[in-house]
Amino acid sequence: MKYKDDEIIVEGIVMIETPYKKQRAHNTILYPYLNLLASVNGGGGSNIYHAPFNQFILGTDTSTPTVATTTGLTSPLSNTQVNIITILGSNANSWYVQCSYIYTGSYFPSPVTIGEIAILGIDNSSNVNGFTRLAVADGTFTAVSVNSSTPLSIQWNVYFEFGA
């Protein structure tokens, strides 16, 4: 395969798994992350505070598509905002960050339908914002129903690779 070295593609792929269903989906990258990427602040210039991918949050919205100004979830479940585990890795022509977390059933004391998921980080204005969003309303995955006996596993890989 021939790669285009004049561009880098940043892409997220998400695996969502319950005991009953496994899905693979592509996320939407949000503008706080786009702007953070562009913060190639020069040496000796003013510092920009930010943080990497380090939290997941789940939400229930199933009807609001992601748009240019989206910075997070539409209907977040605050008790599902959790610190995640990340692993840095590389392949022949890419580097990636693997973000993962397993929600136990205790996060879902009442049955609930998950329609949106986000990775959170600190943007270049020092605010916690969504960096990526996966939404049923975008047509990129199917809503997941969970309850107190249903664990939910999420593995979110963000790839940095040459253009194909």
Partner 1 sequence: MKVKVSGQGYIEHGNIKREFKNHFVTGGLQLMALLFNYAGGTNITYSNEYWYVSSAGVGVDTSTKTTFIMTGLVSPVSTLINPNVTYQRNYFIGSTASAQITILYPTSALPSVTIGEIGINGIYFLESQYPQYNPNIYESLNLMSRASTADGDFAAFAYNPANLLQITWTMIFSWV
User: Applying CB under 8 A, which residues contact partner 1?
Assistant: 3, 5-11, 28-29, 31, 33-35, 37-45, 47-55, 67-69, 83-84, 86-88, 90, 93-97, 121-122, 128, 158, 160-163
Half-sphere exposure of 28 (CA within 13 A, CB side): 23
Residue closer to partner 1 by CB (options 18, 155) is 155
Closest approach of partner 1 to the CB of residue 39, in Å: 7
Q: What is the largest CA-CA distance in the chain?
A: 53
Residue closer to partner 1 by CB (options 17, 161) is 161
Residue closer to partner 1 by CB (options 67, 102) is 67
The neighbouring-strand residues paired with 94 are 91, 161
User: Which H or E run includes 26?
Assistant: strand 22-26
Closest approach of partner 1 to the CB of residue 133, in Å: 10
Burial of 114 (0-12, 13-18, 19+ CB in 10 A): buried
